[in-house]
Structure 1
Amino acid sequence: MWSIGNEISEQHSKNGGPMALELAAIIHNLDTTRPLVDANNNPDTSNQIIKSGAVDLVGYNYHQYDWPSFHDRYPGKKFIGSETTSALETRGYYQQPSDSMYYWPYSNEHGKRVPAKMNEDHTVSAYDQVRAPWASSHEESWKPIKKYDFLSGMFIWTGFDYLGEPTPYGWPSRSSYFGIIDLAGFPKDVYYLYQSEWTNKDVLHIFPHWNWNPGDSIDVWAYYNHADEVELFLNDKSLGIKKKQGDDLHILWRVQYEPGTIKAVSRKNGAVVLTKEIHTAGKAAKIALVADRKIITADGEDLSFVTVKITDAAGNLVPNADNLVHFTVNGEAFIAGVDNGSPTSLESFKGSEHKAMNGLALAILQSTEKAGQVTLTATSDGLEKATITITTK
């Protein structure tokens, strides 16, 4: 579809209707195959653009509480969630308890903006429990879209984190927290909510990590599909079977932490579908490198994205590791960029080193125009180094 505007002031101007009709005529003169929409942050019946009839779909930016009654307001019209959600997460950080919802950077109390108490280290919980005050969590957005057939779908703000708009914080935060995927391309946990709802892939994703203090009360979530139930185990002792009820999108166990292994088993008609485990990680001991592609084109443009993992001696990701990693390249490629997904990192995206964030960093290799073998080596003080080979041809 084509959009003629996003949150523009003419929504409530006498010029809004004529301008919308003029823009619609220009677009229809160029392309009659796609419907028109505009994105309205004030989608009430005083909206002059909607009233003009210029658009084929009525776009709602947020206002999720009004979605179920859309046809009461606009009988016979077609709905699209033109901007939704604006939930906030830092990959790999978790705040207990997980069933408390936070509205940051302020809450609306009695019609007034009241500053919210936020984390001094500029972190945001990855449990889908923090959202902008005008917005909704991922689950709050998806549930009504899933429930009501006349709600045609939604655009999520946002798929990826991006530079700028570091809501809910200010400097030194310098990138957004809105993404389903962080700035380095690493999935946040809520990625697996959408994977379980929107794909045919078998999904069982449990979180958080399993490095806490003895006796801590930790909420363990599971996103899953293609199963009737999930059973959770702590060090091989069952913590019970959970099933989604009603419109649930996840299940939760409140667990008293002890080190070891947390394991989830999903079943369908009694048969195991998937099993996932998370182990308590020991001290950071080595680096692991994983390339998304080990063969790339020698055209001077192709890329291989290499995930850098800080692990213990047994290969478990160390969930709080922030080691500085140095990179060297030999062969027909160079480092196009480095990152770790942190919204607060002020390190350069260019260079030959970068710190990890919650155990992960990224190095992007770019080919030259010569075919050959490329070796990437990653080192860090006190850690066993890692090497990976990429072929360009």
Structure 2
Amino acid sequence: QANDEKEISQVITVQKPQLWSPRTPCLYQATFRLNQGDKVIDHLQKTFGIRSITYSADKGLLLNGKPIKLDGGCVHDDNGCLGAAAYDRAEERKIQLLKSAGFNAVRTAHNPPSEAFLNACDKLGLMVVDEAFDCWRVGKNKYDYARFFDQWSQRDLAAMVLRDRNHPSVIMWSIGNEIIERESHEAIKTAKMLVGAIHKMDPTRPVTSAIPTWDNKWSILDSLMATLDICGYNYELFRAPSDHQRVPSRIIVQTESYPKDAFKNWEMVNSYPYIIGDFVWTAMDYLGESGIGRYYYPWEPKGEPWEADLFPWHGSYCGDIDLTGWRKPVSHYRNILWNNDEKLYLAVQEPNPAKGEIKLTSWAVWPTWESWTWPGHEGKTLQVEVYSKYPKVRLYLNNKLIGEKQTTQAQEFKATFPVPYTPGVLKVVGVVKNKEIESKYLRTAGAPAKIKLIPDRKMILANGEDLSFITIEINDKEGVFQPNADNRLQFKITGPGVIAGVANANLKDLDPYVGSTRKVWHGRALVVIKSTRKPGDIILTASSKSLPDVFLVIKTRKRLSYK
């Protein structure tokens, strides 16, 4: 009858299923059809994956019966110069960037992500900690969610779990981040309520919460942690061995960590089965929490971001990946630690200014660049950093051996060489049994001479919301990247497209993210092109004073072929 509801259950068997994992993200599609006689009157298609999760303090986290560690990073919801707009392509690119940087897991801090985000994680193979709340009843800001928690939390939690529970990428739920009232008895009751609600809707996944301490009252949180399947530690992983002695059944994941502690955390995670992973804060730079990961010079405001007015800072700079999508050196180091394909990396520390020293905040790492272009420093000693999974590395400058160093775990898989700066070619090689296996180079660049446009996609859908992300680099006349370039670029677009955003990685730059001009920073910038609903050719022209104009054609089509 009209307006009636009926629930129908059906069980099917998949013979010899291909299991979903980060390395093999196999997906299936279920099609549901509603027939009236021989006529199909409605249908629904849902994508899903088949995989299992088990966990214990003795064996750690098992995915499809095999041990796995969470090599993770936290992300905020924004897409850089696009703001918080969750374009499908922007979300997919975000996951592609994380995967290419070696991450196998992501924590959505501190809110549920878009469906497009999870669809990309399913497709590309990234495990997800799906997080619900940044506060419960005690707020962190005047107008935050605490005002609505009692009325809306259970409904919002149900909306998240029921929407996301068929995504194979979602391996864990999180009920909160750094909850202010975490030491209270009321918090224990609230945690039990939230965990119970999730288990009722989804008994297959563990529940965590990201828990810090700011007053060293750690053991007082044992009762709160006892409500969780897996305990999230924010910056507290050093406590894990002693906690294990006190609570042997506790399973631990570090839900936030400092970028500078990459080696220490990697070593801890891989030393104990009851520690199942680590999530760095953060995987990518984001807008907000201004200057949390900044390094600063003697003439700039001193201290942590909450200790000073940091204007014009307007973003974090604590990410492994910057706002243009460029991987900072710490990203390469982390990837090498994780035993991925990357085994060798070469970069140079930015030297201190003539007077004073560069200082770091808690979430900062030393500014280090893929550069052997340091005019004004001729003859002065620079610190060259090498990250390596080879047991030994050799460093050459202009084909002359500078030195040879061990890069085993005892050296934290890194070596630093003091090198007097001379322009030319800096080369590092990885050495095994006295045989040179792999090499990396940095070349001194000449004056800026060329603009280079590098699109992530040259063909996009004419659907009014598909995107092409175009990286702009400044090269010298020989095509060598110029890492010191700061040229101002002008963009002009013709055809069925618009400029959706422009950016560089300098989070002190006050140029708007919407417009037709941007300066490059350390030789690099980004422009994002959005399609209209009309197919055709979008022509982007980039120009800069004293440099020749360049143009790029992005084709838009009603359908895309991937043959």
TM-score by length of structure 1 reads: 0.82
| 1:251 partner amino acid | A
Secondary structure of the residue that 1:300 maps to in structure 2?
A: coil
Structure 1 residues 359 and 163, CA, compared in 2 at 3 Å: closer, same or farther?
same
Is 1:73 the counterpart of 2:249? The answer is no
Q: Distance in 1 between matches of 2:459 and 2:392?
A: 40
Summarize deviations over 1:4-38 as a string: whole Å, max 9, x none.
22111332112122222122111111111110111
Distance 1:391 1:274, change over 3 A: farther
Please say if residues 50 and 58 of structure 1, whose CA atoms lie closer than 8 Å, have aligned partners that are also in contact: no
Q: Distance in 2 between matches of 1:317 and 1:253?
A: 23
Which residue in the other structure is 1:106 paired with? none
8 A Cα contact 1:45 1:73, kept in partner:
no
- Equivalent residue for 1:297? 461
Whether the 8 Å contact between 1:70 and 1:79 is mirrored in structure 2 is no
Aligned ranges 1:273-284 → 2 under 5 Å: 273-284=437-448
Q: Does 1:377 align with 2:541?
A: yes
Residues 125-144 of structure 1 aligned to structure 2 (within 5 Å): 136-144=260-268
Farther-moved stretch of structure 1 (189-198 vs 281-290)? 189-198
Describe the superposition over 1:151-201 as per-residue Cα deviations: whole angstroms up to 9, x where unpaired: 110111111111111224411111002100112222111111122233532
Structure having the higher helix fraction is 2
Counterpart check, 1:189 vs 2:351: no
Q: Greater Rg, structure 1 or structure 2?
A: 2
In the TM superposition, what whole-angstrom CA distance separates every residue of 1:255-290 from its partner, at most 9, and x where no partner exists? 111111101122445554432211111111221111
2:256 corresponds to: 83
Whether 2:205 is the aligned partner of 1:34: answer yes
Which residue among 224, 231, 234 is the counterpart of 1:58?
Answer: 231
Which residue matches 1:172?
312
CA distance in 2 between partners of 1:70 and 1:384 (Å):
62
Q: 2:500 aligns with which of 336, 341, 344?
A: 336
Distance between the aligned counterparts of 1:159 and 1:67, measured in 2? 23
Give runs of aligned pairs for residues 229-244 of structure 1, distance below 5 A: 229-244=392-407
Q: Do structure 1's residue 17 and structure 2's residue 202 form an aligned pair?
A: no
> Once the 2 structures are TM-superposed, how far is the Cα of residue 245 of structure 1 from its aligned partner?
2.9
- Give me the whole-angstrom Cα distance separating, in 2, the residues matched to 1:243 and 1:228: 6
Mark the CA change 1:266 to 1:31 in structure 2 (over 3 Å): closer, same or farther: same
The whole-number CA distance in structure 2 between the counterparts of 1:332 and 1:49 is 59
Q: Is the 8 A contact 1:223 1:251 kept in 2?
A: yes
What's the CA shift for 1:67?
3.0
Any runs of at least 4 consecutive aligned residues in structure 1 with deviations exceeding 6 A, and if so which? none
Secondary structure, counterpart of 1:69 in structure 2: helix
Instruction: Note the C-alpha offset of 1:337.
Output: 0.6
Q: State the partner residue of 2:531.
A: 367
Q: Could you tell me which of 270, 282, 288 is aligned with 1:158?
A: 282
Q: Report the CA distance shift for 1:145/1:308 in structure 2 as closer, same or farther (over 3 A).
A: same
- 3-state SS of 1:264 partner: strand
Query: What is the alpha-carbon root mean square deviation over aligned residues?
Result: 1.9
The aligned residue for residue 3 of structure 1 is 174
Report the alpha carbon displacement of residue 323 of structure 1 after superposing the two structures with TM.
0.9
Identity of aligned residues (%): 37
Which residue does the alignment assign to 2:386? 222
- Which residue of the partner structure matches residue 98 of structure 2? none
Give the counterpart letter for 1:235 in structure 2: N
> CA offsets per residue over residues 308-352 of structure 1, 9 Å max, x none?
011211112222211110011222222111000111011111111
The aligned counterpart of 1:126 is none
How far 1:139 moved relative to its partner? 3.0
| SS of match in other structure, 1:186 | coil
Q: Report SS of the residue matched to 2:174.
A: strand
Partners of 1:18 and 1:70 in 2: how far apart? 23
Aligned counterparts of 1:5 and 1:355: Cα–Cα separation in 2: 39
Counterpart in 2 of 1:95?
none
Question: In structure 2, what is the Cα distance between the partners aligned to 1:73 and 1:215?
Answer: 56
Q: Which AA in structure 1 matches 2:516?
A: S
* CA distance in 2: counterparts of 1:204 and 1:387, whole angstroms: 34
Q: Residue 44 and residue 74 in structure 1: after superposition, are their counterparts in 2 closer, same or farther (change >3 A)?
A: farther
1:322 and 2:486 are equivalent in the alignment: yes
Q: Which amino acid aligns with 1:200?
A: N
Greater displacement, 199-208 / 284-293 = 199-208
CA distance in 2, matches of 1:303, 1:391: 11
Whether the 8 Å CA contact 1:11–1:49 is kept in 2: the answer is: no
Counterparts of 1:68 and 1:259 in 2: how far apart (Å)? 49
| Residue identity matched to 2:316 | S
TM-score, with normalisation over the residues of structure 2? 0.58
Distance in 1 separating the partners of 2:207 and 2:243: 18
Distance 2:485 2:554 in 1: 26
CA contact (8 A) 2:388 2:407 kept: no
Q: Is the 8 A contact 1:333 1:366 kept in 2?
A: yes
SS of the equivalent of 1:3 reads strand
- The structure-2 alpha-carbon separation of the partners of 1:245 and 1:224, relative to structure 1 and needing over 3 Å to count, comes to closer
Deviations 1:331-387 (A, max 9, x none): 222211100011101111111110011110001111222222222111100112222
Q: 1:258 aligns with which of 409, 412, 422?
A: 422
Q: Given residue 334 of structure 2, which amino acid in structure 1 is its aligned partner? A: Y
SS of the equivalent of 1:365 reads strand
Residues 246 and 54 of structure 1: CA distance in aligned 2, closer, same or farther (over 3 Å): same
* Structure 1 residues 49 and 342: alpha-carbon distance in aligned structure 2, compared to 1, 3 A threshold: farther
1:230–1:241: 8 Å Cα contact kept in structure 2? yes
CA–CA distance in 2 between the matches of 1:306 and 1:269? 42
Question: Which is worse superposed, 211-220 or 241-250?
Answer: 241-250
Q: Check conservation: 2:263, 2:337, Cα contact below 8 A.
A: no
Instruction: Answer whether contact 1:267 1:273 (CA < 8 A) is retained.
Output: yes
| Residue 210 of structure 1: how far off its partner (Å) | 0.9
Q: CA deviation at 1:202?
A: 3.6
For 1:137, what is the secondary structure of its paired residue? helix
